[in-house]
Amino acid sequence: MVTATRAQPRERGGPLGVAVLGSTGSIGRSTLDVIEASAGRFSTWLLAAHRSTSALLEQARRMRPAWVVVVDEQAAADVDPRSLPAGTRLAVGPEALDDLVRNPAIDRVVSAIVGAAGLRSTWAAVEAGKAVALANKETLVMAGPLVMALAARCGATILPVDSEHSAVHQALCSGQHADVKRIVLTASGGPFRTKPREALATVTPAEALAHPTWSMGPKITIDSATMMNKALEIIEARWLFDMPAEKIAVLVHPQSIVHSMVEFVDGSVIAQLSPPDMRLPIQYALTYPERTEGPARKFDFTRPMTLEFEPPDVERFPAVRLGHEAAARGGTAGAVLNAANEAAVGRFLAGGLRFTDIAEACARVLDEHPFEAEPTLDEILRLDSWARQEVATWSGC
Ligand code: NAD
Ligand code: MG
């Protein structure tokens, strides 16, 4: 279960200060929509991005944060401080971000940097006891037990932004942890849901980037196409909800309306439904335990709606199996799978690997890695580098 599900009260009265890590990305931009529509409940205190400085400056002029952080030092060199709005200061580099994220002016941290790069600032936020709205699933995939223990120790709350985990969080409120039979994570199936196995080897990055129901950043879009995203989400659920891997199932649901379900021992299945729009889980993570009006799309029940469900085809999408395996093994397995996948996705997008090589490379690296059951953060980071190196030199089966 999420360690602490009670949101912090409005500490100082007035708007709650929000730090948006990865503000120029898909989740980051949706977060700013939620803040703008919050009628003064939230205000932006910090915006951080990697290299996209012009988008970041535009956001700064729109949101008027106290700080903007450019993590990439070279990109920051191009920023003219005179282009910042009055009252906004510029900081540069990952250490500056780690420091600022601890600032007492921040009540909510939205962790929306993509990939393993999101771990360190999320760690800093958790260590500072913040209420963290967690989109960066990689944090839990890599270091779930360490991060959850840190949250418990430091009094941080971690609320999921991932739509499936947000749905599970809501469904779990219907019963007790001990009475959960299983968590059912839904998956859209991605653009290749019905593609025959032989055709998958030759799909192009452009085809893999065309997601049928969600508009997301490129990395998670490729992960949806391979279903590695579901693998990462199995591991995320394993640690976030303290649920053994065998109690986490995956169900393909092409409409992306039922965001996930929880089945209890009496046979009741509780689901959360809404149109596919990340602004809703972002808002839920920011306002919990309250609910407010918001900008997310709503159902029109005057129109017919069909919901379909089918089991995943793990022969065509072997990544799902890897997710279960890594969730069951724990230890360093999640970090290695995540790093291997990030490197493989990078090579696929650059034209250096076939689509089907992504899961193959991940399986090989996961099998061959020197498994450690209770790693430290340093050991995790060392194996993250090792796994990337292995994939960089992997030449296929
Ligand atoms: P994106 O690629 O659209 O945006 C990534 C953001 O991270 C950008 O602001 C970028 O500047 C920043 N960034 C990248 N590398 C960085 C680095 N080294 N240091 C600091 N900042 C860096 O990604 P996204 O789709 O918004 O996804 C963000 C996270 O949310 C991912 O972990 C993803 O798995 C998760 N998530 C996304 C969605 C979605 O709908 N997009 C849904 C669920 C979960
Ligand atoms: Mg998801």
Residue-range definition of the domain harbouring residue 78: 16-161
Ion ligand 2 residues within 5 Å by Cβ: 162, 164
Residues 147 and 224 in one domain: no
**How close is the Cα of 113 to the center of ligand 1, in Å?**
4
Q: Decide which of 108, 134, 161 is a domain's last residue.
A: 161
Ligand 1 proximity of 49 Cβ (cutoff 6 Å):
yes
CA 334 from chain center: how many Å?
14
Q: What is the pLDDT along the chain (397 residues), one digit of tens a residue?
A: 444 433 444 555 799 999 999 999 999 999 999 999 999 999 999 999 999 999 999 999 999 999 999 999 999 999 998 999 999 999 999 999 999 999 999 999 999 999 999 999 999 999 999 999 999 999 999 999 999 999 999 999 999 999 999 999 999 999 999 999 999 999 999 999 999 999 999 999 999 999 888 889 999 999 999 999 999 999 999 999 999 999 999 999 999 999 999 999 999 999 999 999 999 999 999 999 999 999 999 999 999 999 999 999 999 999 999 999 999 999 999 999 999 999 999 999 999 999 999 999 999 999 999 999 999 999 999 999 999 999 999 987 5
The pLDDT of residue 214: 83
**CATH code, 102:** 3.40.50.720
Ligand 1 lined by 278 (C-beta under 6 Å): yes
Sheet with strand 108-111: strands edge to edge: 89-92, 67-70, 42-49, 16-21, 108-111, 131-134, 157-160
In a domain, 198, yes or no: yes
Residues 148 and 37 in one domain: yes
Domain-embedded: residue 173: no
Smallest CA-to-CA distance from 220 within 262, 185, 243, 187 is with 187
Q: CATH number of the domain that 374 lies in?
A: 1.10.1740.10
For residues 122 and 245, state if they share a domain: no
Measured from the Cβ of residue 322, the count of other Cβ atoms closer than 10 Å reads: 27
The pLDDT value given to residue 4: 40
CA–centroid distance, residue 22 to ligand 1 (Å): 6
- 126 and 185 share a domain? no
| Span from the CA of 218 to the centroid of ligand 1 (angstroms) | 9
Indicate which residue's Cα is closest to atom 39 of ligand 1. Answer: 216
- Cα(87) to ligand 2 centroid in Å equals 36
323 C-beta closer than 6 A to ligand 1: no
User: How many C-beta atoms surround the C-beta of residue 7 within 10 A?
Assistant: 18
Same domain, 53 and 117: yes
Residue type, 162: D
Q: Is the CB of 131 under 6 A from ligand 1?
A: no
Which of 20, 23, 27 is the pocket-test mutation for ligand 1 (most atoms within 8 Å of CB)? 27
Rounded CA gap, 261 and 182, in Å? 9
* pLDDT for residue 199: 96
> Residue 1 domain-assigned?
no
27: in domain: yes
Output Rg (C-alpha) for the chain, integer angstroms: 20
Closest CA to 2 of 111, 128, 148: 148
**CA–centroid distance, residue 339 to ligand 1 (Å):** 15
Nearest residue to 138 via CA among 336, 315, 392, 294:
336
Say if residue 236 is in the same domain as residue 366.
Answer: yes
Together in a domain, 134 and 209: no
Ligand 1 pocket test, pick from 34, 121, 216 with the greatest ligand atom count within 8 Å of Cβ, gives 216
Q: Mutate which of 20, 26, 120, 283 to test ligand 1's pocket (most atoms within 8 Å of Cβ)? A: 26
pTM across the whole model? 0.96
Is 281 inside any structural domain? Answer: no
Q: Domain count of the chain?
A: 2
Ligand at minimal distance from the CA of 256 is 2
Amino acid at 89: R
| 68 in any annotated domain | yes
Asked whether residue 192 falls in the same domain as residue 154, the answer is no
Question: Per residue, what are the HEC states of the chain?
Answer: CCCCCCCCCCCCCCCEEEEEECCCCHHHHHHHHHHHCCCCCEEEEEEEECCCHHHHHHHHHHHCCCEEEECCHHHHHCCCHHHCCCCCEEEECHHHHHHHCCCCCCCEEEECCCCHHHHHHHHHHHHCCCEEEECCCHHHHHHHHHHHHHHHHHCCEEEECCHHHHHHHHHHCCCCHHHEEEEEEEECCCCCCCCCHHHHCCCCHHHHCCCCCCCCCHHHHHHHHHCHHHHHHHHHHHHHCCCCHHHEEEEECCCCCEEEEEEECCCCEEEEECCCCCHHHHHHHHHCCCCCCCCCCCCCCCCCCCCCCECCCCCCCCHHHHHHHHHHHCCCHHHHHHHHHHHHHHHHHCCCCCHHHHHHHHHHHHHHCCCCCCCCHHHHHHHHHHHHHHHHCCCCC
The pLDDT, as a whole number, for residue 161 is: 98
Same domain, 110 and 200: no
Residue 160 Cβ inside 6 Å of ligand 1? The answer reads no
